[in-house]
Structure 1
Amino acid sequence: MREFLKKNLDPMIPLYSVIPLITCFAFNTLVYYGAMSINSNRYHYDFTTNFDRSVPIIPIFVIIYFICYGFWAINYIIIGRIGREHCMRFVFADISSRCICLIFFILIPTTNIRPEILGNGIGEQLLRHLYSIDHPENLFPSIHCLVSWFCYIGIRGQKQVPRWYRAFSCVFALAVCLSTQLTKQHYIIDVFGGILIAELTYYIAHHSEWYRGVEKIFNKISALVFGKNNIGL
């Protein structure tokens, strides 16, 4: 099995990055739903501003809100392919950012009042569906904006990634941030909070050696699962 994975999976997703990237997804899910469970019976603050009220709702932008999940998967894999050290620094930043999000989610539970959606176009139908499956909680900071910005800064300045795709990732990340506003999923402060936390944790990860502890843990786990030779140790 290890040889099969090395031959067939490693060329697409380096085996050293598989466990770390899966952990990022799992930890993100744990933080989001764990905080929601902890805050289920607590008072939630509404930080809607006059600016937020003035922003129009444009339901068709929900398509960007949904398809960004594919964008996340693709870019995280690309980031994992850049190199072991870059991947481990990125994963450290990603996990650290969710720890910060968890603190905010628990200390300042947030919510908002969503507008009534009129019409039966594809955008309106998809937005009503989003509202039905995603409760208005854990708004600050916006994980949608945070992860989308990570998808950009994780390849920013990386010459092994085509320049056009780096530019596209920046534009699409900004489009995701815009979609959170035009679908009334987040306040404007949530956008800036997500971007700032992504930039802060990414900076720390690339200007310190703190990622080394995380790297050692993932290397040990990956070696057990895939074998030392298959992960380049």
Structure 2
Amino acid sequence: MKFMDFIKKYKHAVTWLYAFIYLPWFMYLEKHVVKNYHVIHMSIDDKIPFIEVFVIPYMLWFGYVAVTFLYFFFCDIKSYYKMCVFMFIGMTIFLLISTVYPNGHQLRPEVFARDNIFTQMVQALYRTDTPTNLFPSIHVYNSIGTHLAIIKSERLKNKKGLHTASFILMSFIIMSTVFLKQHSMFDVITAFIMAGGFYSLVYRNGFVFSDEKEQEEYQGTVF
């Protein structure tokens, strides 16, 4: 494939420029929201046990989102655009909330009852991820967004096994956020509320459209 043909075919890669907005903004918040923040807490948080094995689905989130994102980028541009719009709007709202309403929680255990590979993974996670900038949970919101992109894709509409597997993985990822004490239930609930609102905008009301001819060019092709 000639270089110019490649650029023309994958011109939707311009959406990746959003990373230059999101990542610096998020890293700024992670560095500066370390004290004097509003504590997020619900009484149900105290009743939810810490279960370290859920670090596995928590980490699988990165691959779940990335693989789906890249699949649609190469194979289904219409679904790709919808996934981008859904996620980018929610992620931007999350950044705005964290900026004007600095927040965090105090749910993490000070000591672990067990010492195993899973608790060691959680310790590593805690060292790299601060307990701040929490709601709505992007881990939850983007898990929902990824699942919606899969089940709403015309290309994947008959892949019922994939739909089921995606739902199961999404569910375990969402559960992992509270079982690892990474999020309060408040963060989960607000992520669902936001996802419900933008599901209506993006998927039910046809907010994003793709040119039919352009869509056909991507069906069944990767390179």
**TM-score range for the pair, normalised by the shorter chain length:** 0.7 to 0.9
How high is the TM-score relative to the length of structure 2? 0.79
Separation in structure 1 between the aligned mates of residue 130 and residue 179 of structure 2, nearest angstrom: 17
Structure 2 match to 1:102 = 95
Separation in structure 2 between the aligned mates of residue 37 and residue 16 of structure 1, nearest angstrom: 34
Residue identity opposite 2:146 in structure 1: C
- Preserved contact between residue 112 and residue 136 of structure 1 (Cα < 8 Å): yes
Separation in structure 2 between the aligned mates of residue 101 and residue 2 of structure 1, nearest angstrom: 40
Which SS does the other structure have where 1:138 is aligned? Answer: coil
Q: CA deviation at 1:193?
A: 1.5
**Which residues in structure 2 correspond to 1:65-214 (within 5 Å)?**
65-81=58-74, 83-113=76-106, 114-115=108-109, 116-161=111-156, 162-206=159-203, 207=205, 209=207
Alignment of 1:23 onto 2:17: yes
Alignment of 1:39 onto 2:33: yes
Gaps spanning 5+ residues in structure 1: where?
A: 216-233
Q: CA deviation at 1:26?
A: 4.5
RMSD: 2.9
Q: CA deviation at 1:198?
A: 2.6
Separation in structure 2 between the aligned mates of residue 183 and residue 27 of structure 1, nearest angstrom: 28
Gaps spanning 5+ residues in structure 2: where?
A: 211-223
Q: CA deviation at 1:47?
A: 2.1
- Preserved contact between residue 142 and residue 193 of structure 1 (Cα < 8 Å): yes
Separation in structure 1 between the aligned mates of residue 68 and residue 193 of structure 2, nearest angstrom: 19
Separation in structure 2 between the aligned mates of residue 143 and residue 125 of structure 1, nearest angstrom: 23
Change (3 A) 1:92 1:157: closer
Residue identity opposite 1:142 in structure 2: S
Residue identity opposite 2:174 in structure 1: C
Q: Which digits, 9 at most, give the CA deviation of each residue in 1:82-110, with x for residues without a partner?
A: 53333223322222112211121122222
How high is the TM-score relative to the length of structure 1? 0.76
Q: CA deviation at 1:28?
A: 3.8
Change (3 A) 1:125 1:3: same
Separation in structure 2 between the aligned mates of residue 167 and residue 24 of structure 1, nearest angstrom: 30
Alignment of 1:50 onto 2:46: no
